[in-house]
Each structure stands twice: as structure tokens, then as C-alpha cells.
Amino acid sequence: MTDNSTTINAKPAVPHRMRWSWFPSLHFGDGLLLSVLVLTIIMMRRYGLNNAQIALYVSLLAIPFALRPLFEMVVTHFHGTTKVWILSAEFISAISLWSVAFTLPTAYWLQGTLCFMPFVVVSGVFYNIAANRFYTDDHTIANHQHRLVALLFKSLAPLFGIGALTMLAGNMEVVTRNVRYSWSIVFYIMAGIHFFIWLWHSIFLPGGRQPVAGKKNLFGLHRYDHTKAVDLMMQGWRNRLMLCFFTGFMLPLSLTVIIVPLFLIDMTHNGGLSLAPQEVGLALGTIGVAAIFAGRWAGSLAIRRCGWKKWIVPMALALLAYTLLLENLSSNIAYSLFKVCAVMMAGGAALGFGSNAYTAIADIFASKGGRQFRRATAASLSTAATIASGIFAGLVQMDIGYRQFFIIAIASGVASVILAVIFFVFRGKISANSENCATFATK
């Protein structure tokens, strides 16, 4: 076999201690991209764009996520040093965010945002690929302490970026009475955070041509085995069922991820809750993010102790409960801020808990050979569904209103439950297939 098989069969290095100088900051930086996108949604709404325009622009900005398999192949082909990818992505993100902040007070703010934000998104995707490829291996993530720290700092990033910075923008709007300068300063701060992390990793992040993590299974990410990997991935009803799962299971989140911030901040006469940016930062960016972290951690513990077979249906029901909570909130727009925060907490916990089912099936799908390629494909399918759903959501919500739109989201939650039941019924065959599969890469 070629050198590629040696790479595939090599066992990852076993880390003996937490690398506190760079492991937490690496995952904190990985979580900042979500914060930037949510801040962009709220900023565009404060600048006067309607929901359909915002959904279209943000969905188009998410296209690089759907191209993740291509970017994985780029990283594989231009391996370089392990440190270059991370530092380059951070520096480009910092410069691009600074450029966005510079244009926000001007009349060309939309052109500037749409021009520079794609650089932020593409850099963020490469950052995530490099972090997972070179600095985090499967053994590390399987470790209880490392998994908790990674999840904690990925959650702290949106807690700061969505929670603290949105509240800061709202308070500055009150003090300065100038929306544009307020949000410009917020994006300058976000650019400064990226620049500081770039400086930190320039000093403490280990480099060299040998990755810190163990060697990864890269079958399917080279030109000579890509076609074979795609053919193997499409063979058999189990593989095709999993591909359908990645496209449809997270539809409740795909439909609502852009609409929920807009619903919270939209005016009452439009069917929204008319919250101030400070209140959105508290309900969504602080309480909601913390609840998602708690739900994610609880779900991962449940799967590790009892397996995905027992929990996949309850997790799908949790996603359905998330949509039911949103519909209830849209039916009672006179809720107090306390009740809104309570609903965001319950909904975030349900969303975080339910999303673990997607992760579990992705692990099974990736275990069949070509782990990095299959994970990238699963993420790409989910993102493609999110992009299509986002464009659809913006147009439909403007036409039928928030309450009726969340009823559609409930229907997508029912579809998630149906998919979970199918996987529960065929759980034995799916598990047996993942355990006994002999892949082309190991022949």
C-alpha cells in the first residue's frame, strides 16, 4: 500500500496533560465565527434591512461551509507547516473585520460588509479544519477533560461575542444615539480580539511540519482516491440513509437559526418581541448560549453512558420541543423579559441536547473509512440544507408572519422525529455495518 495507508493506520499520539497555553484559546477562536455571523444579522436589522434581505445575505455568506470538502482537499494538498494555517486565518479575519468596521459608518456599509465578510467566513472554515487536523485528534477529544474544555471555550466565544458585544452595542446606541458608530466600534472590538488571539498563538502555538495531533485518515482527500471515496460513500442503503439524515435531521435549527434573532429584535407590529439589543444579548447571547452548552454536555454524557440507540428518539423530541417553545413565544409576544429568558433557556437546552444525535450519527458515518472526508461531507450537507432553508425562511416569514413560520418549523421537527424513529428501528444493522465495514483504504 502507499504512504497514505501508513497515515491511515497510524495511531494518534496520546496527550498526557492539558496544553493550557494554547488548547483553550484555539477552541475559543474556533467559536468566534458564529458570533460574527449572529452580530451581522442583528447589525443588518438595526441598519434597516428586512428579514428577506438579511436571510439572503447571511445564507450566501454561509456558502463556504458547504464547500468544506473542497477546502479539506486544499489543506491536504498544500500541507505546509501546521501553524501557518491557523495564523493566516486569524490575521485575515482580523484585517477583514477591521475593514467591515471601517465601512459601517459610511454610506457604503452594505457593500463593505458583503465584500469583506466572505474573507472572514472562508478564514474561519480553514481555521476549523486546521485546528481539527493538526491540533486535535480523536483520542484527545475522547478524553473527558479535553472534550469539556473544548466545548466550554467554544461556548464562551459566542457568550462573549453575541452576549457581551450585543449588549455593548445596545448601550452605546443609547449613549451615542448613533447606530452606525455603535456597531462600528463593536466590530472594531471583534477585530481586536482576533488580532490578540493571532499574537497569542504566534507565541505559544506549536508549529513545524509534524502535527501536534496524531495523523488523520485522509482517504478521499487526495485526487487519486477522491472518486473511489465518493463511490464507497454512496454505496448501500445505510450510507444513503445517513446522507438523508444529515440533510434533514437538523432542519428545525436550519429554519430558525437566522429567524430567531430577527424575531427577538423585530417590532411588535411585525409580530416580533421588540427587544432592545441589550435584551437580545441577555436572552439569546448569554442565557441561550449557556443553556446550549449545558444541553450539549448533558447529551454527550448520555450517549457516552447509554449509547446513541437509546437516546436518538428523545433527542429528536427535544428538537421538536425547541420549535414548540418558539411557536408559544410567538403566540404570546407580550411576554416579560424574564419569561422570554426562561423560554430561551429551555429552548437552548433542548437544542443543545438534541444536536448530539447528529454528532453521534456523524461519528458512525465517519467510522467507515476516510474519516476527515466523510465528516466534511456530513457538515457540507447540513450546511447546504441550512443555506436553502435560510433563503426560504426569509421569504416565507415576510409573507406569513412569525407565528405561522414557527408552525412550519414544528413540521420540520416532526420530520426529525420520523428520521430518528427510522434509525432506531434499524439501529442494529446500522451499528453492525459501521463496526464490520472493510474500507478500500485499509485493503
Residue 333: the pLDDT is 83
Residue 217: the pLDDT is 82
DSSP H or E segment with residue 124: helix 109-130
**Highest-scoring range by mean pLDDT, 15-24, 322-331, 428-437:** 322-331
Q: Could you tell me the pLDDT band of residue 139, with boundaries at 50, 70 and 90?
A: low
The model's pLDDT over 257-285, given as tens digits with 9 standing for 90+, comes to 999 999 999 999 999 999 999 999 999 99
Instruction: Round the average pLDDT of the chain to a whole number and report it.
Output: 89
311 and 276 fall within a common domain:
yes
Distance CA 435, CA 25 (A): 35
State yes or no: pLDDT of 216 exceeds 90.
Answer: no
Residue 136: the pLDDT is 83
Distance CA 47, CA 277 (A): 13
94 and 194 fall within a common domain:
yes
223: three-class secondary structure by DSSP: helix
225 and 368 fall within a common domain:
yes
91 and 48 fall within a common domain:
yes
Which of 183, 216, 249 is at the close of a domain? 216
**Would residue 152 count as lying in a domain?**
yes
What's the whole-model pTM score?
0.91
Which of 216, 249, 271 is at the close of a domain? 216
C-alpha cell at 58: 447571511
Q: What is the DSSP letter of 276?
A: -
318 and 428 fall within a common domain:
yes
Comparison of pLDDT for 233 and 122, the residue scoring more: 122
Residue 31: the pLDDT is 94
Instruction: Tell the residue number behind the cell numbers 433542548, with chain if given.
Output: 350
* Range of lowest pLDDT (121-130, 180-189, 204-213, 405-414): 204-213
346 and 363 fall within a common domain:
yes
- Tell which residue, 349, 317, 326, has the closest CA to residue 415: 317
409 and 309 fall within a common domain:
yes
Distance CA 434, CA 249 (A): 20
Structural domain for 191, as ranges: 18-216
Residue 334: the pLDDT is 84
Instruction: Tell the residue number behind the cell numbers 494518534, with chain if given.
Output: 12
Comparison of pLDDT for 413 and 7, the residue scoring more: 413
Distance CA 347, CA 396 (A): 22
**Would residue 212 count as lying in a domain?**
yes
Of the chain, the percentage scoring pLDDT greater than 90 comes to 74
Distance CA 390, CA 400 (A): 15
Residue 1: the pLDDT is 38
The model's pLDDT over 94-124, given as tens digits with 9 standing for 90+, comes to 999 999 999 999 999 999 999 999 999 999 9
Residue 328: the pLDDT is 94
Q: What is the dihedral of CA 3, 5, 9, 15, to 10 degrees?
A: 40
Q: Could you tell me the pLDDT band of residue 138, with boundaries at 50, 70 and 90?
A: low
Q: What is the 3-state secondary structure (H, E, C) of 74-97?
A: HHHHCCCCHHHHHHHHHHHHHHHH
**Would residue 11 count as lying in a domain?**
no
**Based on the structure, what is the number of domains in the chain?**
2
237 and 189 fall within a common domain:
no
- Tell which residue, 415, 423, 280, 268, has the closest CA to residue 344: 280
58: three-class secondary structure by DSSP: helix
Q: What is the DSSP letter of 215?
A: P
Phi-psi region of 369 (alpha: psi -120 to 50; beta: other; left: phi over 0): left
**Would residue 2 count as lying in a domain?**
no
Q: Concatenated DSSP letters for 326-339? A: HHHHHH-TT--HHH
Distance CA 389, CA 408 (A): 11
* Range of lowest pLDDT (79-83, 127-131, 163-167, 239-243): 79-83
239 and 210 fall within a common domain:
no
Q: What's the N-to-C CA distance of the chain in angstroms?
A: 8
Residue 215: the pLDDT is 79
41 and 97 fall within a common domain:
yes
**Would residue 326 count as lying in a domain?**
yes
Tell me the mean pLDDT in the region 287-297: 96
Residue 107: the pLDDT is 95
Which of 155, 184, 216 is at the close of a domain? 216
Residue 198: the pLDDT is 97
Instruction: Tell the residue number behind the cell numbers 499520539, with chain if given.
Output: 13
Tell me the mean pLDDT in the region 188-211: 91
Residue 204: the pLDDT is 93
Instruction: Tell the residue number behind the cell numbers 428538537, with chain if given.
Output: 319
Residue 16: the pLDDT is 45
Of the chain, the percentage scoring pLDDT greater than 70 comes to 91
163 and 176 fall within a common domain:
yes
Sign of the C-alpha dihedral, residues 365, 436, 311, 292?
Answer: negative
Rounded (5°) CA angle 421-424-426: 110
276 and 203 fall within a common domain:
no
Distance CA 316, CA 345 (A): 18
Residue 337: the pLDDT is 94
The model's pLDDT over 29-70, given as tens digits with 9 standing for 90+, comes to 999 999 999 999 999 999 999 999 999 999 999 999 999 999
The model's pLDDT over 313-363, given as tens digits with 9 standing for 90+, comes to 999 999 999 999 999 999 988 889 999 999 999 999 999 999 999 999 998
**Would residue 279 count as lying in a domain?**
yes
Q: Could you tell me the pLDDT band of residue 15, with boundaries at 50, 70 and 90?
A: very low
Residue 14: the pLDDT is 44
Instruction: Tell me the CA distances in angstroms from 227 to 5, 104, 221, 230, 263, one per residue in order.
Output: 17, 45, 10, 5, 44
State yes or no: pLDDT of 142 exceeds 70.
Answer: no
Residue 79: the pLDDT is 72
Positions of E strands within 248-318: none
Which CATH number fits the domain that encloses residue 77?
1.20.1250.20
